[in-house]
Copies of this chain bind each other. A is one copy, B any other.
Amino acid sequence: MYTPDFAPEINIRKDKVVAALKAMNTDAILLGTNVNNYYMAGRVFSGYVYITSEGYMHYFVKRPALLKGDDVTYIRKPEDIPALLQQAGIESPATIALEMDFMSYSDIARLAKVFPEATPSNGSAIMRYVRSTKTAYEIEKIRISAQGHMSVYSNLQGIYRPGMTDAELQIEIESRLRRAGCLGIFRVAGPSMEVFMGSLISGDNADNPSPYDFAMGGAGLDASLPVGCNGTVIEPGMSTMVDLCGNFTGYMTDISRTYSVGTLSELAHKAHNCSVAIHHAIAAMARPGVKASDVYNLARTMAEEAGLAEYFMGHAQQAGFIGHGVGIEINEAPVLAPRSRDVFEAGNVIALEPKFVIPGTGAVGIENTYLITADGCENLTDFTEDIMPLD
């Protein structure tokens, strides 16, 4: 399937899946979603990846008709797979994991029938866990995304014109991101959280609640997509929170920065500084073994001690987390929430977004993407954390 120099990388990923299958006492996993096919093959294709706890991996491909290799077999339908496995001398699985959280009921029911002798189980958590610790190769992809993402965010001064709306500003930044190499697509796990290229929120639109568990909502421009910018005319004294797509390589960074037109209120500056202080405190404590819930609690306590609890992670509607894993999708593991049972591991890549919504000003604070290293934490998106002028 892949070029020889990519084979070692794929073997690392396969070994992680094999270890997880063994830990779950599961004989095999059959993957079929775009993101997990991409993870296991290094490219998106239509079809399936079959991996056993013995270390056998094979690609069963429907489209496109151009993939080659001993590990590739073309199929018309998943029902073709068992006979092909038998021909290859692979034992039938007694237990098989399927992507039950991310494939439709109809698709899973069909795949379960393909292996009528096997007991199906939910393999979504296996892949979520495997993908939560990034390989050196994946981290490099994220570093490249970080460079493109930071370059656009760093150069917005002068973009503002009096009378400009949040939507006009977002469209201009989207175009700059795309011209810098952003692929545009913003992958969110699960079908329910729809957003276009991320969100940009100016002024009190930050307080409009969204259908999703987002820190900042935004009413949106249309009832069919009620999230993000809503046509607010940007005025002096308003903050603008930019949280747009950082997918330059298939792997995303997640960065937010606060921008100003004119002068923001003292309370807004105080809250912004609190967000930055939370980042520095977490960056100093984050390392393998630290509980995600403890990180959440540290952030929450710092916001409370600063007297800013009512503005923390939203005002009218508050989000129940302060960060999340990021990679191929924007909402990977671990989750930084009060009841999360996740514990940091080396290789986790985490977006931290302690933000505040200040009535009359808008959203403030920053979001960075960090790598959990063997003995600490590295900021992959290390550039100015100050409020930056748009005018």
> Count of A residues near B, CB < 8 Å?
61
A194 interface neighbour in B174, B185, B223, Cβ under 8 Å? B185
B-binding segment of A97-105, A152-160, A296-304: A97-105
**Which residues from chain B contact A43 at a C-beta distance below 8 Å?**
223-224, 226
Q: Is A293 an interface residue (CB 8 A)?
A: no
Chain B residues with Cβ under 8 A from A33's Cβ?
Answer: 191-192
Copies of the protein in its oligomer: 2
A124 in the interface (beta carbon within 8 A): yes
Q: How many angstroms between the C-alpha atoms of A226 and B42 in the bound complex?
A: 11
A255 to chain B, nearest CB (A): 19
Is A266 located at the chain interface by the 8 A CB criterion? no
Cβ A104 vs Cβ B183 within 8 A: no
Once the chains are docked, how many angstroms separate the CA of A225 from the CA of B34?
9
- The complex places the Cα of A183 from the Cα of B109 at a distance, in Å, of 35
Binds B, one of A59-67, A356-364, A379-387: A59-67
Mark A321-348 against chain B: 1 for CB-CB distance below 8 A, else 0.
0000000100000000000000000000
A185 in contact with B225 (CB, 8 Å): yes
Looking at chain A's contact residues, the main secondary structure is loop
CB of A64 within 8 A of CB of B210, answer yes
Contacts of A175 in B (CB 8 A): 171, 174-175, 178
A107 to B62 CA separation, bound complex (whole angstroms)? 27
Cβ of A217 under 8 Å from chain B: yes
- Contact yes or no, B226 A250, CB < 8 A: no
In the assembled complex, which residues on chain B have CB atoms less than 8 Å from the CB atom of A124?
Answer: 106
In the docked arrangement, what's the CA distance between A217 and B66, Å? Answer: 12
User: Once the chains bind, are A196 and B191 in contact (CB under 8 Å)?
Assistant: no
Say yes or no for A78: interface residue by CB 8 A criterion: no
Confirm or deny: A221 has a beta carbon within 8 angstroms of a beta carbon on chain B: yes
Alpha-carbon distance A28/B154, docked complex (angstroms): 53
Q: Are A65 and B179 in contact (CB-based, < 8 A)?
A: no
Smallest Cβ-Cβ distance to A39: which chain B residue: B224
The verdict on A190 contacting chain B, using a C-beta distance below 8 Å, is: yes
Which residues of chain B come closer than 8 Å to A192, judged between CB atoms? 33-34, 46
In the complex, the answer to whether B225 meets A183 with C-beta atoms within 8 Å is: yes
A197 contacts B by Cβ under 8 Å:
yes
Q: Could you list which residues of chain A lie within 8 angstroms of chain B, going by C-beta atoms? A: 33-34, 38, 42-46, 62-66, 98, 100-109, 122, 124, 168, 171, 174-175, 178-179, 183-185, 187, 190-192, 194-197, 208-213, 217, 221-226, 249-250, 316-317, 328
Q: A66-B209, A102-B104, A104-B104 known; 19 other A-B pairs, CB under 8 Å?
A: A34-B191, A34-B192, A42-B223, A43-B223, A44-B194, A44-B225, A46-B212, A62-B211, A100-B105, A100-B109, A101-B106, A103-B105, A171-B178, A174-B178, A174-B184, A183-B225, A184-B197, A191-B191, A223-B250
A-B CB contact pairs (8 Å), 18 listed: A34-B194, A45-B226, A46-B211, A62-B211, A63-B209, A63-B210, A64-B208, A64-B226, A101-B106, A102-B104, A104-B104, A174-B184, A183-B196, A184-B197, A187-B194, A223-B250, A224-B249, A225-B250
By Cβ-Cβ distance, the 3 closest A-B pairs, closest first, are A224-B250, A64-B209, A43-B223
